[in-house]
Amino acid sequence: MKILVTGANGYIGRHVVSELLNMGHNVIACDLHLDNVDERVEKIEANLFEATENIYEIMNNPEICIHLAWRDGFVHNSLNHIGDLSAHFKFLTSMINGGLKHLVVMGTMHEVGYHEGAIDENTPCNPLSMYGIAKDTLRRAMLQYCKEKSCILQWCRAYYILGDDKNNHSIFTKLLEAKEAGKNKFPFTTGKAKYDFICVDELAHQIACVAVQKEINGIINCCSGKPISIAERVEQFISEHKLNIKLEYGVYPERVYDSPCLYGDTKKINTILKKHKFILDE
């Protein structure tokens, strides 16, 4: 299939592009710059926020669009999340109006806000950060628009991502930076909160598997489904990378919008992954 990936040069996008290529699909990579993207792709350097009415043709008429482009994804209260919202909506609706019939969009557990336990597609959303508010608003708008236009929508809701850690701007990046700076102590929260961690390579595989099927749609959790305390996962990371760093617990408070324990329900994604494996085996 011919698949467009926006935000293809980003942290997640580069891995999704390679995963789709390895599956044998034709991939169109779009971003402002494409320096770090797999050379096997067709490259389109463009600013999607300047999308015109014929953007679908400019993007070479893809069968599927995986929309990963997003500014300041690791800065949860950046004002750009709300400021860019109408541009995302204009791009996606212009693609659909041009002829796109299958849309995949990157979502986030931050759409949900404070919640304890498993999250599924019916979990009420009350986002508590600008990032979560913007993603939640785009999701609601696109669910309605895609329904009106008979366009498949798969909203891939991601959780806590690690891997390729020099590029993800997370606590794992900061730990590597602390090592480079020669620090042996790292100020930390209590570390008690439990999150659903997933490696970026596995996330990319899940997103690709979601996109190349049409039977399971709507909100789909892309996750492990296994909550682990952030203290346990960070200590594991320190051990795996042989970092001579000791965590200073309790220096920072927990973020007000983080829940004590949340994780994704994996029913949908497990069904998709099992089907994909069966197809590959066949």
In a 3-state reduction of DSSP, which class is residue 224? coil
Measure the CA angle with vertex 83, ends 45 and 129; round to 5°: 115
**Which residues, including other chains, have CB under 8 Å from residue 70's CB and lie 6 or more apart?**
7, 10, 84, 88, 106
Cα 185 to Cα 175: distance, rounded to the nearest angstrom: 10
Confirm whether 195 is a catalytic residue.
no
User: Pick the catalytic residue: 11, 56, 114, 131?
Assistant: 131
Cα 40 to Cα 14: distance, rounded to the nearest angstrom: 12
Measure the CA angle with vertex 11, ends 171 and 265; round to 5°: 75
Q: Structure tokens of 263? A: 């994780």
Burial zone of 8 (CB within 10 Å; 0-12 exposed, 13-18 middle, 19+ buried): buried
Cα 131 to Cα 73: distance, rounded to the nearest angstrom: 7
Cα 9 to Cα 28: distance, rounded to the nearest angstrom: 12
Q: Are 142 and 96 in contact (CB under 8 A)?
A: no
Residue recorded with tokens 């709300």: 82
Cα 126 to Cα 121: distance, rounded to the nearest angstrom: 14
DSSP letter string over 260-281?
A: SBEEE--HHHHHHHHHHHHHHH
Q: Which residues are catalytic?
A: 131
